[in-house]
Amino acid sequence: MRYLHTMVRISDERASLRFYCDILGMREVRRVENAAGRFTLIFLAADEDVTHAKRTHAPLLELTYNWDGEKLPPSSRNWGHLAFEVDDIYAFCAHLQQCGVTINRPPRDGRMAFIKSPDDISIEILQKGDPLPVREPWASMENSGTW
């Protein structure tokens, strides 16, 4: 068995690409426009996975955009979450805040944080390797909303 991709539905292609590519740093590696089915599939890879993803088409995040619109569920908590590993969780979370992203579960432990996509998909951010030493302002920061 081989992991291929995770699909999430999106309601706004521009907002989703800004979030996943411009803010999170993922890169589009493939796109399928299906006029008959009236949908677009956008396949993204994390920066460190781009070469592998282009060669084998995995592991990928598939964003599915239905051209005629689709009412997404009011909450995506039952969808679980996506998880990404970063070199410095504090620097990455600071970058997210500068981009206007709410840190729903701050990295108080130097290891884990949660944010939400524009379509309410929970995203877990994990520190690569060992947790970083606990530091402010993260250590005393409260949760915000759900994650």
Question: Is 48 a residue of the active site?
Answer: no
Token pair, residue 136, equals 């402010």
Choosing from 28, 85, 124, 142, the catalytic residue is 124
Residues with catalytic roles: 124
